A and B are shown apart, each in its own frame.
Chain A
Amino acid sequence: MNHDAYDDNYIRGILNSVKSIAMVGASPVNVRPSYFAFKYLAQRGYDMIPVNPGHVGKSLLGKPFVASLADIGHPVDMIDIFRNSSHIMPVVDEALTLSPPPKVIWMQLGARDDAAAEKAEAAGLKVVMNRCPKIEYGRLSSEISWMGVNSRTLSSKRAPIPTQGMRLSLNRMSVGGGATAASDRAAKNKSEPT
């Protein structure tokens, strides 16, 4: 599948269906993006599991760190990989040994490994690359519109008042299939060797 641009329905389907998310590379340092993405997703009702061998024995917002995916001890729906592109493949390999395997592999903003994506997709998993689930959740619920971001969605329904632990509706009408043509084109040019 095309990983330069995603249809909103694809992202919406993932964020509406997964309940548990293991975040590989989660940081207990409260100014790191992984920390505040973890916190946001926990506040929106996802069951979050921090995975980072360097912090075993500590916990993140009350959730104990585990050293590896195998140590989670129960099935998880999605693996969110907060690592550089060069560290993706071993995580995907490990995810594929889990029984049952996760339904989704998500690589953070800036991270992309097409070979790892192909391997996960061949095993029946859904893959998202170079996106942030916090940004996508905020965009599809229009919560991110508070920052002047183009949510690329429309709705004539009354907006909910977000509170902690509350799931927001992601089922708004998408504008242009979720694509911002110019930014997707630029992302494609960036990923192709020139």
Chain B
Amino acid sequence: MTDRLPGFSTLAVHAGAQPDPTTGARVTPIYQTTSFVFNDADHAASLFGLQAFGNIYTRIGNPTTAVLEERIAALEGGTAALAVASGHAAQVVVLQQLLMPGDEFIAARKLYGGSINQFTHAFKSFGWNVAWADPDDIASFERAVTPRTKAIFIESIANPAGSITDIEPIAEVARKAGVPLIVDNTLATPYLIRPIDHGADIVVHSLTKFLGGHGNSLGGIIVDGGTFDWSKDNKYPMLSEPRPEYHGIRIQETFGNFAFAIACRVLGLRDLGPALSPFNAFMILTGIETLPLRMQKHCENAKAVAEFLAGHSAVASVNYAGLASDKYNKLARKYAPKGAGAVFTFSLRGGYDAGVNLVSNLKLFSHLANVGDTRSLVIHPASTTHSQLDDAAKVRSGAAPDVVRLSIGIEDKEDLIADLEQALGA
């Protein structure tokens, strides 16, 4: 038989899934069970010792969730993946494998507000210290590297303004520093950007957004690029040192180029516990089947809405990398030629009050704290997602008081424009 390369849309429908062995069910069944029977005592011992492939308990792995994991690993071009309960959980599990108390990681300043909070406050109590760098100034990443640096973290398309990060030179900084580059690819999805192709070692997602796509299920995932050598210099003992809880096996030695995903599963998810519900895995899998169609429509609509806003007299500025005049348009054409995503910001001449007014006058856009839904969404970051930051930090992260963030859905663009037009005129 000849091997040919299936395209992205074929993988979005098929990767990881096949008819159920017992019933022949064509759609992946929801294995809504906590646990799985063992064949015998020896089988149980082999599974617990990581010696055999198979299911034990849904906190460690589940057949429905495994389909989701393989599908996203295939779409991202990674070697393996691990699904967890949310994007936030993915970040905790990833960094737990990489950092010991007192270690540091470098993060881009332009991030989802929830990540800024998690890194600044929650991780501080674990002794994980974040150093901030400016994604528009590559040298700021180099300057932030110290002997305790264990990872670099960026977003491919950055929240909230939809700015595009120049992944390749940052990957080069990570390579020189001997640390992995972690890319949060939530706003791009692998349909628009595949960070591993640009030098990322680990990709994380909030599946809650465009991948699931319908605003109905939380989820997160970690994708192992299979690119990083964890055995070097004993810098990552979770992967290179014998694990006492698994009879002294070394994760990298035993699992090769998908060792990181295994470490996240058997040392992270197993012990920290943020497992994804099989039902959510099923909902997200169903969403992913139409990812290419949805993302194309999201991007087309976003561009049309951004163009409308750019020409409106009440609007002071629009930040959308898909506009030819935008600061990030060159990077968008390089990294995301199919479209610059569907989350962006604009600012109103009337400032904070005009922003609040606009949000309350919209009839079709929903005012809520999420992005990447079929429905169009609006939020005022300064009073919500980024409200815990001081004013200077708000401006630095792209959430100044006069800024409104949109997540454009897949409705008819004429209706979205008409809604904005009436709300801006009201």
Contact = CB atoms under 8 A, between A and B. Distances in A.
Given A156-B14, A181-B197, A146 B73 contact: no
Contacts of A174: 3
B21 A150 contact: no
Contacts of A154: 6, 10-11, 14-15, 18
A183 B257 contact: yes
Interface residues of A, number: 52
Contacts of A39: 46, 51
Nearest to B40: A164
Contact of A182 (B226, B255, B265): B226
A122 B171 CA distance: 40
Interface residues of B, number: 60
Nearest to A7: B3
B426 interface: no
Interface stretch (A69-77, A88-96, A185-193): A185-193
Contacts of B6: 154, 173, 175
Contact of B197 (A9, A31, A182): A182
Contact of A149 (B10, B21, B79): B79
A65 B254 CA distance: 23
Contact of B73 (A138, A149, A171, A178): A149
B235 to A, nearest CB: 15
Interface stretch (B63-71, B116-124, B361-369): B63-71
Contact of B51 (A8, A36, A176, A183): A36
Nearest to B17: A154
A110 B256 contact: yes
Contacts of B46: 36, 39
Interface in A143-193: 143-152, 154-161, 164, 171, 173-178, 180-183, 185-187, 190
A122 B11 CA distance: 39
Contacts of A152: 74
A27 interface: no
A64 interface: no
Interface of B: 1, 3-6, 10-11, 14-16, 18-22, 24, 39, 46, 49, 51-55, 61, 63, 65-67, 69-70, 73-74, 77-83, 196-197, 225-229, 246-249, 253-258, 261-262, 265
